[in-house]
Structure 1
Amino acid sequence: MDRDLLGRPPTRRRRIDWLAKVAKGQTTCQSHGSASSACLDRRDLSLPVRNEDLTHLAASQARLPLPSPKVALASCTRGCCPARLREWLFWHLAKGIRLFLLRWEGAMTPEQEEVIRDLRDRGRLILLESSLQGKTSSSFQRVMTRQIKFVHHAIRAARARRCDFLLHLDDDELLFSETDSIPALLRRFLGSSKRCVHFENLEAVFPFEMQTDRPFSRQRTRFRKNFQVLYCNGKSAANLTAGEVYASGVHHFCRHDRSFEEADPKFGLHDETAGCSHPACCIQERSAFVLHFDSPSFVEWRDKFALRAQASMSQLDEEELQQFPFKRASVEAFTKVKKVPRQKQIYRHWRCLPGRKEEEFHPRITGSSLEAAFQRLLSQVRVEFA
């Protein structure tokens, strides 16, 4: 039976008239670490996500068995800002992720440490690799190479912890289903021979903001279906119950370990440039999407591409810049332009609403629907612990 984010079967969900409870003054105060000890009021049921929300959610889930299958999430993050890290962890924890396996690059601030502390203490989050001095290259190819090698490490770690699936996402991506939890999405592939469960991606476009404490949950965000400026070949989960499985680039998984091998015609679609698409390995799950929130504010775009611009680019990196005009313009903003008004203009053009004339947005998945989903999950947690 599927359970809600607190681990309860839907038929056992308690009905709580929260507003009446507030009106009668029946709430209690609790202090959790660095969180405010103020009593919850109506504003406290709203976004953004706070550190104690992660603590409460993990505590709630610990009281009852989590749903099967057991799903881990692997991600390489370069100093993910605390607001994004909180929302990213909360969403996937609420949607059924059992274990987070992270490669952390760059120095970790006390605020970032505070975000992940409780999940680490509970064994729900593991810093599987780290490069805390920030000396790793930010060139496109070097980043992808590190991701592939890390995913192979994460596959071994997930197997050792008896996980059934390993989802590979970046820290600016959410796996979104309008109806199902992540374990429910993957359950039918348990024991299947398919190594790769693939999800189409949609690209977020935002109102212009200098910075934001709600990178994923803003009402006015829209999602591009076409003319995406970063990538359009989705992301995947590895089926660890299907036998040997390897990363096939950063977008797919495969039964063959081919990411760092020269293409060989005998492998056919297993050796596709964009990653394995062979039907013996890959199947598309069409009831969910990866929502890609690259650079959800000007500050995050600036920090990301200022590092990119400092990297030594290989021939493959130069080819990527030619293939993706957004990436080329963003790198040039810090190598040729260097003027803030022009940088803002570049960021607005490629990543902000109203978008470009040729774009189409998804008709149902919107910032409003995602904000409402976040709000429902958050309210359940805060009402439970009020």
Structure 2
Amino acid sequence: MSQTRSSQLSEEYIQDSFHSYLKSSLTQAKVEKLLDADVLSSAEGDLMITGPALCLYFAALRCTTNPPSVPLPRSAKNTQPTELSYENCPPPFIPFLRVWASTVPSIQSLAPEHQHDLARVICGLEALSHPLPPAIAGIAADLRAVAIEISQRRSFQNRFASDLQAALDSGTTPGSQTAKKASFVPPPLYDPSPASSRTSLESRPPPSPQYATHNLPPQSPTHLSPHQSGGGSSSGFPSRSPSPTILSPNSPAIEFIRETLYASLADALERQPSLRALLKRDPPRAYFASVAYAILDVATNAVTPDGAVVGVLGQPLTLADCPPELRPFMTELAAIGQQAREMEEADNNSAMQYAQRDEEVPPSKMDRVKLMLEEGVGYAEGRREAEEGRRSVEGRAVAFTNRINALSLGLTRLRAFKERQSDVFKVLAGIGA
């Protein structure tokens, strides 16, 4: 076994090592036809999540230590090999290491064909084996959850294009007609206060995992207004906000969705005191956690059975009124609401069964989802629950959290959301002060 250093490694060294492995992982994925050159060059879909998740998967296959550690590239030929472990891992990366390490035994115990199926599931491809071992869904959910958090780091986004280009250049002749160029561009840097780095979102700007592009094309006049004539809504849903809205009768649908979600942020902070505490110690995470809570709230309480969203001032926006570019967001919002209701019903049934046996009721799946939205998949209590066997093999709570975060990241990358983030962040910061 190679030697490890007892001193803590620098974040920069870990980042350099990760991107070195990411380049080779993307290249291997291209060779194995898990990702094709068109996907790598366009960086469409959720490649910013898939790429890091594949990197974690390949690292698990290479792991030879117990407890699991990551062999790091040598900084020079004459240096001793180093392994990333709990003893030398920088504190910000320990949650990532903890979750990854928990998946290593499960990944290595899979049959080779099922390991390949896991890689396909990570990439959003259909598995080749049927039936698929239930554990694969849970492993994929854990790896993608860590990847979501990695993809939010600005240091990752600034280097992702070069990682993609390295994979594209592999096996091709420079300057040939078949050569492709990575088109990925990091999202705009969000910094609400140049004088204060504490409230900067520099380390966690949102990527767009699988939905619309960063800038939506202009909407046609028939899709501009979510408002109906008349003073109220016939949907039966309450108004989402008692305060005036910036929406006009001709506001685009994306602004309607944005204002509906932002109107629920204050409600989320009021219901979740822990979010207010999070604002003080980690403002960027608190912002995105608040948006995720707002998505969960709107999806659960403001989506009608036919998929319309009842938003600010009680006005509905139907799927038919929504421009085609935004319909995937609307459809996913409705699907999240349906899954949330099913999860809460299952939680209630489970709680009644515990009560009938006079047993202590453990935290519900929805409780775990909310904790992960706030603290990330590696939060310590969640890991203990997993080790105690209180989470499902399929990782349903983690997968559902990923689904909410993916929609949150996709929405907040859109220009209409970026235009209002500064104002909203200042309001949130004031609430948390």
TM-score between both structures, scaled by the size of structure 1: 0.27
Give the TM-score, by structure 2 length.
0.25
Greater share of helix residues, 1 or 2? 2
Bigger CA radius of gyration: 2
The structure with the largest strand share of the pair is 1
